[in-house]
A and B are shown apart, each in its own frame.
Chain A
């Protein structure tokens, strides 16, 4: 077969096959739980956790999650609401945990007097949590468990 004809056959096959391998036809369970042609009702908006109880970090370097609501907290070039409690100078008044010292360092490790601009937008790393069942499973194993498993195996 010459190249144009081969291309045409491949294209025709692709077009013919696409509808037949849709997730609904294959019986795949999608996250929307409905065929593509149907519009399922939107799930309820989940409640944001507001208990002020800190969650454990899944791994040592994980940015801690936010254990409270941050609705309408302004976080832009003009104002940073988070820092009116979590900055070094405010913690005595508010008893909020201070942002870590790494946030007062620039990328070369030099210490700054103020929050480093590259750390300014808190919600890039820190997010509030909602009370929902995870949509997909998770096989993450804590490094602690890994080490413990390894040690008990070698013994």
Chain B
């Protein structure tokens, strides 16, 4: 078995390392170049296709849960008409980070195949886990996807409401917090927030002492 495999690799290497017998150098180099462009262009086009909102909401898991919740928020409808689509917040914009995220997303294809969140109930059961994953990611990259639009350097605190100004000076400037530390659940509904830093306990845990 191993000898057979070795032979296969050997013959393959021989083919690659020997000069071409029938094809001209021009055909091989220019053809390779053209094929390379075609492959790369196709790859990138496919990649960008998966990086659009219509692609995200082509699955009902996204369309009937998170997309519905997004629609009432300021990231969907607002006075200036600038809006964020799914990949603006959920996919890094830099190429290497994007590819890394896309590889992680293959797990989500698995989840889609096996219907991990294909009902509302299953989705709600998994919501905390999925939300925490996103919070962890944004905490780790210092809320990079927020900052693609909301750049701290250009943020004029004096034009914010007094409350926002105080909170941003204290949290962002002094305490070194990042956007997601305070701005959880701005685009989607929150899961049960018991035990999450910065959130008070919900009455769920107090049901026994309900009066």
Contacts and interface: CB of A to CB of B under 8 A. Distances in A.
Given A52-B162, A117-B207, 15 more contacts: A52-B161, A74-B190, A77-B203, A78-B189, A79-B193, A79-B199, A81-B185, A83-B200, A87-B200, A94-B167, A112-B209, A115-B200, A115-B201, A115-B203, A117-B206
A68 B161 contact: yes
A84 B206 contact: no
Nearest to A68: B163
Interface in A51-87: 51-52, 68-69, 71-72, 74, 77-81, 83-84, 87
A114 B166 CA distance: 26
B74 A84 contact: no
Residues of B contacting A: mostly? loop
Given A74-B190, A78-B193, A84 B199 contact: yes
Contacts, number: 76
Interface in A7-40: none
B73 interface: yes
Contact of B202 (A51, A78, A93): A78
B35 to A, nearest CB: 50
A95 B161 CA distance: 15
Contact of B186 (A72, A80, A106, A118): A72
Q: How large is the interface on A (under 10, 10 to 19, 20 to 34, 35 or more residues)?
A: 20 to 34
Given A52-B163, A120-B203, A78 B209 contact: no
A74 B189 contact: yes
Interface in B162-208: 162-163, 166-167, 170, 182, 185-186, 189-193, 198-204, 206-207
Nearest to A73: B185
A130 interface: no
A117 B210 contact: yes
Contacts of A81: 185
